[in-house]
Amino acid sequence: MRKPAKLVIATHNPGKLREIRALLAPLGIECVGAEELDLPEPEETGNTFVDNAELKARQAADLSGLPALADDSGLSVDALHGHPGIFSARWAEDGGGGRDFGRAMERVWREVEAAGPDAGRDAHFVCVLSLASPHGAMESFEGRCDGTLAWPPRGDRGFGYDPMFVKTGMTQTFAEIDPAQKHNISHRADAFAKLVAALGEA
């Protein structure tokens, strides 16, 4: 796919929107958020990160008539056989239409402790970025960031599970470091580098 002049960022998550805008800024692409266009939030019916990223990108491209970039991401914990994974946002649902990541992180930690000390504390974030054209083309790029879980959660920057995630080789959580640093080393940055390389080759 060629580098688009204008792109819909097909997410309703303000934390992701901030990060994707920062990643796209150097590319000189005009970005518009899904909420600015009043696009509905699709139901994530897929069984994989790729399925869900592609269904979000496809819906936004079809409804807006513009190329659309969607992100499906999550935290996969080894001791929980990859959970919450694609259910990362759903583990935070508070029953009243909102999200409570404090509660979601507590559930992760509770289940990790229940798995016992031998299960370890390793985890990784996954991010799939899907770029859909309104004419039917679709390309997806997967990024990953390995690390370990920290408890209790630390830091008030970032979003989602950032306060309990320490990237391998680091000591601070993703919620303690400067967001600009996270943008260089995260699962989203990894996927984004692959996307940019593919656009450069088009």
Which stretch in 21-29, 59-67, 155-163, 190-198 sits in contact with ligand ITT by CB under 6 A?
A: 155-163
Decide: 150 and 199 in contact? Cβ < 8 Å. Answer: no
- Beta bridge partners of residue 81, listed in sequence order: none
Closest among 176, 187, 189, 165 to 77, alpha carbons compared: 165
Q: How far apart are CA 178 and CA 164, in angstroms?
A: 15
Kindly report the number of other CB atoms within 10 A of residue 110's CB atom: 10
* Contact partners, residue 126, CB within 8 Å, separation at least 6: 49, 73, 74, 76, 85, 142, 143, 144, 187
CB 9, min distance to ligand ITT, A = 9
Please select the residue that binds ligand ITT; options are 67, 74, 143, 147, rule is CB under 6 A: 74
- Is 143 a binding residue for ligand ITT by CB under 6 A? The answer is no
Query: Strands of 6-9's sheet, edge to edge?
Result: 30-33, 6-9, 68-77, 122-132, 138-149, 165-167
- Is 73 a binding residue for ligand ITT by CB under 6 A? The answer is yes
- Is 186 a binding residue for ligand ITT by CB under 6 A? The answer is yes
CB 127, min distance to ligand ITT, A = 6
The CB-nearest residue to ligand ITT is 160
- Is 140 a binding residue for ligand ITT by CB under 6 A? The answer is no
The phi and psi torsions of 130 (rounded to 5 degrees) equal: -120, 135
85 to 104, contacts with ligand ITT by CB under 6 A?
Answer: 88-89, 101
- Is 121 a binding residue for ligand ITT by CB under 6 A? The answer is no
Please select the residue that binds ligand ITT; options are 109, 141, 161, 192, rule is CB under 6 A: 161
Which stretch in 23-31, 65-73, 109-117, 131-139 sits in contact with ligand ITT by CB under 6 A?
A: 65-73
Kindly report the number of other CB atoms within 10 A of residue 158's CB atom: 20
Residues annotated as catalytic (active site), given as ranges: 72
User: Which residues sit at the interface with ligand ITT, rule CB under 6 A?
Assistant: 11-13, 16, 41, 44, 56, 71-74, 88-89, 101, 125, 158-162, 174, 186, 188
